[in-house]
Structure 1
């Protein structure tokens, strides 16, 4: 029981730190698929090749796009992502400049 509660809690934390949008990405020329920025995707879960983002395409053309949320650290300036080539959400790790010290968070 304790393990289940811990897993649910960790899942809620990961959800809280992301940004999610849902939209209609159907394309009349490609029924049952999603047209995401010109890429035609079949139903399923996909990693964006250019963004730190997970795309869940439904068979009706609707898609859920999950990306990194805004992460702030007091007295720090957010910088670039550490490695955009990693799969989401591992690619969300970002550099921060904290009073001249560069940290990853």
Structure 2
């Protein structure tokens, strides 16, 4: 018999976890995109889109939680500093 963890971390790609971690102002956009992706996922080809959406919003929820998120967002928008693309973030995470 193996020991089970007392408290497992929530799946960061769970739609409820994403929703709960997002700031109030981002939640309507997430829900709109999520519902559209769920509708599209009824077609087998659309399932990948749903997975990608959850992956992207999970990363956004993580970013929003950082205290300096808004300053970093403005810096990226204004071309200040060096940053990596979301594709690079995902490739590092999936490795």
TM superposition score normalised by structure 2:
0.28
Greater RCO, 1 or 2 (C-alpha within 8 Å, sep 6+): 2
